[in-house]
């Protein structure tokens, strides 16, 4: 299964970066490619179910995911429960660095769900998801720097 893994070092405290990362409902306010994130359900274990609409290379991807925050370890796991891709899951992690800043990492695994075309489409999708993920991280960086 293809994997996207991007990270950015930010000149902001880890807890401040975590606040921006974990507030997924605010993403459409400052991320150009994120059209909508809607809270569907808050579950008793602290996880949530959210629906997403995101631009990816001129197309709109839509899905519903379960988000599992780990506030102590500054990690947000997510997994698609239904949507345009066959499978989409991953995690956001924030780690403090020695200089007092933070590194944010976004990793995800995906399957487009078209086996006969996967050799051709997976590299294209991986490149598009990588570019989109890098843009999301840069926009978080701009938000915490403001």
Res 112 pLDDT > 80: no
Is residue 112 within 8 Å of 118, Cβ to Cβ?
Answer: yes
Distance, in Å, from the CA atom of 69 to the CA atom of 66, rounded to the nearest integer, reads 10
pLDDT at site 98: 81
Res 27 pLDDT > 90: yes
- Span 49-81, pLDDT tens digits: 999 999 887 889 899 999 999 999 999 999 999
Q: Is 135 exposed, middle or buried (0-12, 13-18, 19+ CB in 10 A)?
A: middle
Range with top average pLDDT, 68-72, 98-102, 109-113, 117-121: 68-72
Q: What is the mean pLDDT of the chain?
A: 90
pLDDT at site 120: 65
Radius of gyration of the chain (CA): 15
Go through the domains of the chain in sequence order and give each one's CATH number.
3-145 (3.30.530.20)
Considering only residues 50 and 121, tell me which one the structure prediction assigns the higher pLDDT: 50
- Give the dihedral sign, CA 145/70/22/83: positive
Q: H or E element: which one contains 145? A: helix 118-145
């Amino acid at each position: 299964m293809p994997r996207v893994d991007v990270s950015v070092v930010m000149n902001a405290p880890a807890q401040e970066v975590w606040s921006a990362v974990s507030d997924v409902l605010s993403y459409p306010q400052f991320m150009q490619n994120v059209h909508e994130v809607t809270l569907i359900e808050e579950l008793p274990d602290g996880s949530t179910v959210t629906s997403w609409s995101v631009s990816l290379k001129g197309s709109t991807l839509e899905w519903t995911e379960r988000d599992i925050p780990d506030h102590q370890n500054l990690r947000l796991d997510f997994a698609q429960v239904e949507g345009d891709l066959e499978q989409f899951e991953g995690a956001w992690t924030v780690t403090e660095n020695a200089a007092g800043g933070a590194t944010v990492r976004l990793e995800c695994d995906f399957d487009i769900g078209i086996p006969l075309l996967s050799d051709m489409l997976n590299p294209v999708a991986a490149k598009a998801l990588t570019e989109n993920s890098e843009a999301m991280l840069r926009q978080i960086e701009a938000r915490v720097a403001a």
